[in-house]
C-alpha cells in the first residue's frame, strides 16, 4: 500500500505543477509567477477520525465493559506554504500535524489511544466570490504513528508505541467561508483517510502482552472544522 500511495501522490503533484506552470507561461510568461502568488498562512482545526482497530479490539477485556475502539477526536495545526491563483482556481501547497485521541474508562482502568499524523499535500479550490471557495479536493501523503496507554489504578502504566512510521493517503473536500477576506477563513471539510499501524510494542511497564499486531488495520471517514489566518503576498 505504501508504494501505491507514493505513486498516486507524485502523479497528482506532477500533473498539477505542470498544468499550473503551463497556464502561467501561456498567460503572462514565467516572470508572472510571483504575481500569481496569493497568500500563505497558518491554520488550526478540530474534528473526528473513524478507523478500524482490529488488533486492539481483539485483545480488549470486553468482559470488563470495554467497547470497540473506532472513533477518535482531536486537532490539527498546519500551514499553507504557497498559494497560486489562475483565474478562478486556487492551488496551494500545504502541510499539517494532527493528533487524534480515543479514551475509554471502566472502573479503575483507562485505555487511551493516540494516533498522530504528519501530512504533506496540495489543495485545489474553485473561487466563487470574495466570501466563498469550494474546496474541490485536498490530497495528502501521510506519515502515521500511534501510542496506546493502559493505566490500571495501583499499577505502573503500560505504554505501547509503533516502532516505525506507516505511510498513508488522505483526501477531502468542503466549503470555505471568508468573514474577513483574505485574512481569515472558516472551512468545513470531510474526507477519507487510508492508513494503518502494523504493530505496537510495549515500551514501558510489564505485561504478558508485549506486541499487538494489526493494531490499526484501516482508516475511514473524517470531518474537520478549520480556521485559517492568511498572509497575502499582494
pLDDT at residue 202 tops 80: yes
pTM of the model: 0.82
Q: What is the CATH number of the domain that holds 151?
A: 2.40.160.20
The DSSP code sequence of 22-44 is HHHHHHT-GGGHHHHB-EEEEEE
The helix (run of H) or strand (run of E) holding residue 67 is none
**Stretch 64-86: mean pLDDT, rounded?**
92
Structural domains in the chain (count): 1
| Predicted local confidence at residue 207, as pLDDT | 87
| Predicted local confidence at residue 64, as pLDDT | 87
Sign, Cα dihedral of 46, 52, 53, 57: positive
Instruction: Give the rounded percent of residues in the chain with a pLDDT score beyond 70.
Output: 82
**Stretch 136-146: mean pLDDT, rounded?**
97
Per-residue confidence band for 5, with pLDDT thresholds at 50, 70 and 90: very low
Per-residue confidence band for 234, with pLDDT thresholds at 50, 70 and 90: low
Q: What mean pLDDT, rounded, does the chain reach?
A: 86
pLDDT at residue 144 tops 90: yes
Instruction: Give the rounded percent of residues in the chain with a pLDDT score beyond 90.
Output: 69
Which residue, chain included where needed, has cell 501530512? 119
Per-residue confidence band for 183, with pLDDT thresholds at 50, 70 and 90: confident
| Predicted local confidence at residue 2, as pLDDT | 53
Residue whose C-alpha is closest to residue 92's, from 129, 138, 133, 128: 138
Q: Which domain holds residue 178?
A: 2-232
pLDDT tens digits along 108-128: 999 999 999 999 999 999 999
Judge contact between 24 and 36, C-beta under 8 A: yes
Amino acid at each position: 500500500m505504501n508504494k501505491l500511495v507514493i505513486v498516486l501522490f507524485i502523479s497528482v503533484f506532477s500533473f498539477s505543477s505542470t498544468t499550473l506552470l503551463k497556464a502561467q507561461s501561456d498567460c503572462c510568461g514565467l516572470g508572472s509567477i510571483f504575481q500569481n502568488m496569493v497568500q500563505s498562512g497558518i491554520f488550526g482545526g478540530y474534528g473526528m477520525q473513524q478507523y478500524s482497530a482490529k488488533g486492539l479490539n481483539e485483545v480488549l477485556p470486553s468482559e470488563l465493559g470495554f467497547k470497540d475502539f473506532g472513533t477518535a477526536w482531536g486537532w490539527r495545526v498546519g500551514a499553507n506554504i504557497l498559494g497560486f491563483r489562475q483565474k478562478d482556481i486556487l492551488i496551494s501547497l500545504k502541510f499539517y500535524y494532527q493528533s487524534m485521541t480515543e479514551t475509554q474508562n471502566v472502573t479503575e482502568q483507562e485505555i487511551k489511544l493516540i494516533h498522530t499524523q504528519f501530512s504533506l499535500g496540495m489543495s485545489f479550490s474553485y473561487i466563487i466570490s470574495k466570501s466563498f471557495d469550494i474546496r474541490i479536493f485536498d490530497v495528502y501523503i501521510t506519515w502515521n504513528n500511534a501510542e496506546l496507554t493502559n493505566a490500571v489504578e495501583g499499577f505502573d502504566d503500560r505504554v505501547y508505541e509503533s516502532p516505525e512510521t506507516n505511510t498513508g493517503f488522505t483526501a477531502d473536500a468542503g466549503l470555505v467561508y471568508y468573514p474577513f477576506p483574505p485574512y481569515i477563513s472558516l472551512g468545513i471539510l470531510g474526507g477519507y483517510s487510508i492508513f494503518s499501524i502494523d504493530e505496537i510494542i510495549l515500551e514501558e511497564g510489564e505485561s504478558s502482552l508485549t506486541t499487538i499486531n494489526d493494531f490499526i488495520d484501516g482508516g475511514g471517514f473524517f470531518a474537520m472544522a478549520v480556521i485559517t489566518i492568511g498572509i497575502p503576498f499582494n
